[in-house]
C-alpha cells in the first residue's frame, strides 16, 4: 500500500462547532515555556505570544496546541501551580488573538486541563501523560465533554493496538465521544521503533479513529540526519508527507505554513487520476 486508500469519515465537536477530519488538519505548537527543545516554539512575553498566534493563523493553523510544561527528555517538570500560572497569563492573550480558532491544551495534569477548559474555553485535551495519570484524565475529559487526544508510549505497533483498544473502551464506558489517537513518536521508543511504527502507521486505521502525528523536528529526525532541531524542517516535511499518505488526520507541527503546503500537495496527489496501483514504488508497505 502506498497511500491510505480511504480516510475515515470523522467529525469532532469543538464546543458546539463541528470539525471534519476527512480533510487533514494542521495543529500549531505554542509553548509558553523557557526550555522547549525547539527554541522557535517558545513564547513567554505577551508580545511574543500574540505575534506567534497571529502568524500561525495567517499560515493556516486549524488548531493551536498550548503547552506550559516541557516534556522533552531530561527537561525539568515544573509544579502544577507554575504550569497553571503560565497558562493563565498566556491564555488571556491567546483567546483574544485566536478568536474562532480552536485551542488545545498539552498537559498530563487533569486539574490543569479542567482549568483551561472551564476558565478559557479550550476545546481539546491533548494528554501527554502515562499510566500514573491516565485514569483520572479519562474521567476529566469525559466529564468536560471535549475531544481527547490519547497518546501511546508503547514501543511497538502490536502493543500499541492492544493498549489503545483497551483504553478506548475505558473512555467509551465513561461516555467519552470524540477520541483522537497519537502513536507518541519520541515517547518510550527507540529510534528504530519510531521508524518501525511510522512504516506501519496505516494499520492504526483498524481502530476507526483519527490519528494525530506529532513528529515535528524531533530527535528521530535529528539523529538520522546529524542535525539540530533548528535544522530539521526539511526532514519534518518528509515525514509529515509520509504520515499523510499513511492516513494521518492531524499534523502537530512547529512550522504551520510548511505543514499546510504539505497537506495541500499530498491531498492533490491522493485525489489525482492515478490509482494506487499506478504509483511507483516509493513507499512500499
Bridge partner list, 206: none
> In Å, how far are 3, 119, 172, 178 from 66, measured between CA atoms?
31, 15, 26, 19
DSSP 23-57: S-EEEEEEE-SS--SSGGGB--SHHHHHHHHHHHH
How far apart CA 43 and CA 127 sit, in angstroms, is: 21
Residues 6+ apart with CB under 8 A from 47: none
Q: Which residues participate in catalysis according to the annotation?
A: 218, 252
Contact 27, 63 (CB under 8 A): yes
Q: Look-up: residue for cell 513507499?
A: 283
Residue 194: how many other CB atoms lie within 10 Å: 24
Amino acid at each position: 500500500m502506498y497511500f491510505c486508500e480511504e480516510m475515515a469519515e470523522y467529525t469532532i465537536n469543538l464546543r458546539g462547532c463541528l470539525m471534519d477530519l476527512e480533510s487533514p488538519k494542521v495543529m500549531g505548537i505554542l509553548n509558553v515555556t523557557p526550555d522547549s527543545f525547539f527554541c522557535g516554539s517558545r513564547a513567554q512575553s505577551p508580545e511574543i505570544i500574540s505575534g506567534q498566534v497571529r502568524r500561525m493563523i495567517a499560515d493556516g493553523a486549524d488548531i493551536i496546541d498550548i503547552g506550559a510544561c516541557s516534556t522533552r527528555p531530561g527537561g525539568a517538570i515544573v509544579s502544577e501551580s507554575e504550569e497553571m500560572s503560565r497558562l493563565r497569563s498566556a491564555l488571556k492573550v491567546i483567546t483574544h488573538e485566536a478568536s474562532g480558532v480552536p485551542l488545545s491544551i498539552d498537559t498530563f495534569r487533569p486539574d490543569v486541563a479542567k482549568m483551561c477548559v472551564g476558565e478559557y474555553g479550550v476545546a481539546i485535551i491533548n494528554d501527554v501523560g502515562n499510566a500514573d495519570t491516565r485514569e483520572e484524565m479519562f474521567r476529566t475529559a469525559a466529564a468536560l465533554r471535549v475531544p481527547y487526544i490519547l497518546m501511546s508510549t508503547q514501543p511497538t505497533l502490536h502493543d500499541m493496538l492492544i493498549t489503545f483498544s483497551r483504553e478506548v473502551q475505558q473512555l467509551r464506558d465513561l461516555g467519552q465521544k470524540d477520541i483522537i489517537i497519537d502513536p507518541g513518536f519520541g515517547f518510550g521508543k527507540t529510534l528504530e521503533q519510531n521508524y518501525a511504527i511510522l512504516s506501519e502507521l496505516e494499520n492504526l486505521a483498524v481502530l476507526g479513529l483519527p490519528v494525530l502525528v506529532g513528529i515535528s523536528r524531533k530527535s528521530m529526525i535529528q539523529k538520522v540526519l546529524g542535525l539540530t532541531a533548528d535544522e530539521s524542517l526539511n526532514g519534518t516535511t518528509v515525514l509529515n508527507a509520509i504520515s499523510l499518505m499513511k492516513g494521518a488526520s492531524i499534523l502537530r507541527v512547529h512550522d504551520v505554513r510548511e505543514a499546510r503546503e504539505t497537506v495541500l500537495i499530498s491531498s492533490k496527489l491522493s485525489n489525482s487520476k492515478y490509482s494506487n496501483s499506478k504509483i511507483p514504488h516509493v513507499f512500499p508497505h
